[in-house]
A and B are shown apart, each in its own frame.
Chain A
Amino acid sequence: MLIVDECRLLWPDFEARYSLRAETGALVAIVGPSGGGKTTLLSMIAGFETPLSGRMSFAGRDLLPLAPAERPVAMMFQDNNLFPHLNAAQNVGLGIRPSLRLDEAERARVAEALAAVDLDGYGARRPGELSGGQRQRVALARALVSKKPLLLLDEPFGALDPGLRREMIAIVDDLRRARGITVLITIHTPEDVLDRAASLAFVAQGRVLVQDAPRRALDPARDPAIAAFVGHAVPAGT
């Protein structure tokens, strides 16, 4: 289980205080208005931001003293997940060994991971020759080969069309089930994960205002911020 407990961050113009839980192997959606602190929350879990106070652990292990590379964390962004001068297989290989000196077995793992995201035979392509969805699947394959049990996805499919987006979320969800990974995903379109997420955390003004079952968490009556957000994001009738 991932436990974030009263972790406090401070900037001259922004203060955040996060508490969050995620059961091992669960998918937790993080939703909220832009600038509310969703990305900051993930950055903190990954180790790019150090809280002034509070605790954070995963599977009973304290994360705070660990450097990003030592944390059990893989991460994926909306853009720039791939290095443009490396081909798809090399980009995936970085998840095993950044020196890219891979042995036979490791190369097989790369191929297997590419196959798992339906990119069999795309290993030699460079990012420039791949579509947006394909690029994100390469990044996903890299997260898989790194064997990190906690996957942080920061608006990973925001740039894709709705059909492709749902397809990608399905791939992530299938991999989560098959491999028991814990997934935190920030997303602008919560309707895509309502049936898949174990819980939904609503983040605004640097706080997790609500964490609950997805449909309950988005009840407009719970907070004016949620009402404002739902009014925009979830079409009537959902």
Chain B
Amino acid sequence: MTRLAGVRAPHPGALVALALAGLAALAFGALLEAAQGRAATLALDAYLRRVLVFSLTQAALSTVLSLVLGAALALALARRRFVGRDLVLAALGAAAVMPAIVVVFSVVAVWGRSGWIASAMDALGLASRPDPFGWPGILLAHVFLNASFAARIFLDALARAPAEHWRLAAILGFSPRATFAHLDWPILRSELPGLAGLVFLLCFTSFAIVLTLGGGPGKATLEVAIFSALRVELDFARAAMLAGLQLAICLSLTLLLHWAVTKAPVAPTERLPAARPDAADPRLRILDGMVLAIAGALIAPLLLATLEGVLALPRILDADLADAAATSLVVALVSAGLACAMAIALAGAAQAAQARRRTRLAAAYDVLPALVLAVPPFALTAGLFLALRGHVSPAQAGFLLLPLVNAIGALPFAYRFLAPALATSAERHGRVCALLGLTGWRRLVVVDWPMARRPLAGAFAVAAALSFGDFGIVALFGGGELRTLPYLLYERLGSYRLDEAAAIGLLLVAAAFALSALATRMADADRR
């Protein structure tokens, strides 16, 4: 080592963190500068206060329900082996990244006044009709998306329990309750702060779902106000202030969560196949059956509803679609690669900080990926565009920003997949690496890669699928060369072609399903 003692090169993760914070700051700065000192009309009026209270309640409730169902589902799936289990896992992966507009129409197709449930009730001669608008629709859609995601993350985590612990549990005759208390709960709890923070933020900033299924402007999020400030009032100062307010709320809540729920230490482990002794418990069989049935009843119909698009499939197969699919694919691959690279760097930095006992810094790295969600993508894009506009043409800016903003949007998902695996790797090999002077890239390739390869497949799949179905910034920069599948979906929706939009929605869901199935298969291949 020729490096001076005490002077260390910055961790790549530190650079990523700085870059992300810089991008957010740049975006805010550009928005404020473009406002040309016009005073922001940020009266926190009665309506805004009501929206805030609603948003907090709605997000908290959605988070609790999603995590409870997600955890129960993960435990049931961990305990049970059945035909089609891989399909269920792939379906969860597809559900987790379903585009909001597709979710909205699925909820309506199943639970709407003329939906499946209503038809069934009609057939049974029942007079009452379900009404998804309002709380039921919002919660249903959020739980559908986030319980699916939480279940995937929890299931991955549960598989990390040391095989020795399972053997001890068998020898010591752990009851199902003791198994949960000593084996499952500590693992679930270690995932909780990060996952809860992410889900909360997703629900807090959820826009189309809350607005459309909410049934009235009383049920809205701050994001709506930001959207209208940017696109209708063209009042950038107000947009920046509202975005700042949203960021501040999310930041304080995330920090509170991390402070309230301390991370349990991770046991380093060799992952041998170990049978769960509680799988045979008859009461758990019943419970798992019920959990799978409930989750199935909530999740499966909404996925199946997208199949209605199959009728119009023949009509959408044309050059436009092939172009859009190719563009979507390229954008998705670039964004997913970028998101995974950022996630690995940040997780590495978090581990490095943890190793130096700088737990606060480590926690900050851990919070950051979710926190970027609090910056409204629309404001981020707008700000970045303003910052770039002197240097590149608008068309070029679109090319650059689309994968970048999509990658930032997918980062927290990728991070939740990757961080625990890298943490395990660090606890297991950290000292050896330190002794061998194995750092940076070489350490990543030699040590972390074998541990991270499996979750990386999952992270890449989820990031790619998210980006594939993301409409957000294409709204602004789409068209011309930048036509993606979601863009095409809206274009057809705008031309009265609801059925063709449904068919494109089906394609998006099918792509997510395929990606997810592929990732599941790769994971299982490794498990031997």
A79 in contact with B175 (CB, 8 Å): no
Say which one of B115-123, B263-271, B281-289 lies at the interface with A. B263-271
Chain A residues whose C-beta falls within 8 Å of the C-beta of B277 in the assembled complex: 67-69
A46 in contact with B265 (CB, 8 Å): no
Measured between C-beta atoms, what is the minimum distance from B35 to chain A in Å?
Answer: 51
Which of A75, A79, A100 sits near B171, CB closer than 8 Å? A75
Which of B162, B178, B265 sits near A79, CB closer than 8 Å? B162
A98 in contact with B164 (CB, 8 Å): no
Question: In the complex, which residue of chain A has the Cβ closest to the Cβ of B265?
Answer: A84
Which of B173, B181, B264 sits near A84, CB closer than 8 Å? B264
Decide yes or no whether A140 CB sits under 8 A from chain B: no
In whole angstroms, how far apart are the Cα atoms of A223 and B169 in the complex?
38
Chain A residues whose C-beta falls within 8 Å of the C-beta of B164 in the assembled complex: 77, 79-81
Give the secondary structure class of B's interface. helix
A99 in contact with B264 (CB, 8 Å): no
Decide yes or no whether B182 CB sits under 8 A from chain A: yes
Decide yes or no whether B168 CB sits under 8 A from chain A: yes
In whole angstroms, how far apart are the Cα atoms of A75 and B171 in the complex?
7
Interface residues in B160-179 by Cβ distance below 8 A to A read: 162-165, 167-175, 177-178
In whole angstroms, how far apart are the Cα atoms of A79 and B277 in the complex?
20
Decide yes or no whether A73 CB sits under 8 A from chain B: yes
Task: Find the residue from A43, A47, A73, A77 having the highest chain B CB count within 10 A.
Answer: A77
Decide yes or no whether B186 CB sits under 8 A from chain A: yes
Measured between C-beta atoms, what is the minimum distance from A56 to chain B in Å?
Answer: 16
Contact A83-B165, Cβ < 8 Å, known A68-B277, A99-B177, A128-B265: yes
Question: In the complex, which residue of chain A has the Cβ closest to the Cβ of B187?
Answer: A85
- Chain A: residues with Cβ within 8 Å of the partner, total of 28
Q: Mark A86-127, 1 if CB is under 8 A from B, else 0.
A: 100000001100111000000000000000000000000010
In whole angstroms, how far apart are the Cα atoms of A126 and B267 in the complex?
12
In whole angstroms, how far apart are the Cα atoms of A203 and B181 in the complex?
38
Chain A residues whose C-beta falls within 8 Å of the C-beta of B178 in the assembled complex: 94, 98-100
B182 in contact with A94 (CB, 8 Å): yes
Chain B residues whose C-beta falls within 8 Å of the C-beta of A47 in the assembled complex: 170-171
In whole angstroms, how far apart are the Cα atoms of A98 and B177 in the complex?
9
Contact A75-B173, Cβ < 8 Å, known A85-B186, A94-B182: no
Chain A residues whose C-beta falls within 8 Å of the C-beta of B163 in the assembled complex: 80
B170 in contact with A48 (CB, 8 Å): yes
Question: In the complex, which residue of chain A has the Cβ closest to the Cβ of B185?
Answer: A85
B171 in contact with A68 (CB, 8 Å): yes
B175 in contact with A99 (CB, 8 Å): yes
In whole angstroms, how far apart are the Cα atoms of A164 and B20 in the complex?
50
Measured between C-beta atoms, what is the minimum distance from B452 to chain A in Å?
Answer: 21
Contact A98-B175, Cβ < 8 Å, known A83-B182, A85-B264: yes
In whole angstroms, how far apart are the Cα atoms of A81 and B182 in the complex?
13
A73 in contact with B182 (CB, 8 Å): no
Question: In the complex, which residue of chain A has the Cβ closest to the Cβ of B280?
Answer: A67
Contact A94-B177, Cβ < 8 Å, known A68-B277, A85-B186, A128-B265: no
Measured between C-beta atoms, what is the minimum distance from A238 to chain B in Å?
Answer: 31
A80 in contact with B171 (CB, 8 Å): no
A80 in contact with B267 (CB, 8 Å): yes
B186 in contact with A73 (CB, 8 Å): no
Chain B residues whose C-beta falls within 8 Å of the C-beta of A80 in the assembled complex: 162-165, 267-269
Chain B residues whose C-beta falls within 8 Å of the C-beta of A85 in the assembled complex: 182, 186, 264-265
Question: In the complex, which residue of chain A has the Cβ closest to the Cβ of B162?
Answer: A80
Contact A69-B265, Cβ < 8 Å, known A81-B164, A99-B178: no
Measured between C-beta atoms, what is the minimum distance from B26 to chain A in Å?
Answer: 42
Measured between C-beta atoms, what is the minimum distance from A65 to chain B in Å?
Answer: 15
Measured between C-beta atoms, what is the minimum distance from B448 to chain A in Å?
Answer: 20
Q: Mark A47-81, 1 if CB is under 8 A from B, else 0.
A: 11000000000000000000111110111010111
Chain A residues whose C-beta falls within 8 Å of the C-beta of B173 in the assembled complex: 68-70, 98
In whole angstroms, how far apart are the Cα atoms of A146 and B172 in the complex?
8
Chain B residues whose C-beta falls within 8 Å of the C-beta of A98 in the assembled complex: 169, 172-175, 178, 182
Contact A74-B186, Cβ < 8 Å, known A68-B277, A128-B265: no
B182 in contact with A48 (CB, 8 Å): no
A84 in contact with B171 (CB, 8 Å): no
Measured between C-beta atoms, what is the minimum distance from A27 to chain B in Å?
Answer: 20
Chain A residues whose C-beta falls within 8 Å of the C-beta of B270 in the assembled complex: 79
In whole angstroms, how far apart are the Cα atoms of A128 and B165 in the complex?
16
In whole angstroms, how far apart are the Cα atoms of A212 and B500 in the complex?
80
Beyond A84-B265, A99-B175, 14 additional contacts (C-beta under 8 Å) are: A46-B171, A47-B170, A68-B167, A73-B171, A75-B171, A79-B270, A80-B162, A80-B164, A80-B165, A80-B267, A81-B168, A84-B264, A98-B174, A146-B172
Q: What 9 pairs across the A-B complex have the smallest Cβ distances?
A: A69-B173, A98-B178, A80-B164, A68-B170, A80-B162, A84-B265, A85-B186, A98-B174, A77-B164
Instruction: Name 5 A/B residue pairs within 8 A (Cβ), A-sorted.
Output: A75-B167, A77-B164, A79-B269, A85-B186, A99-B181
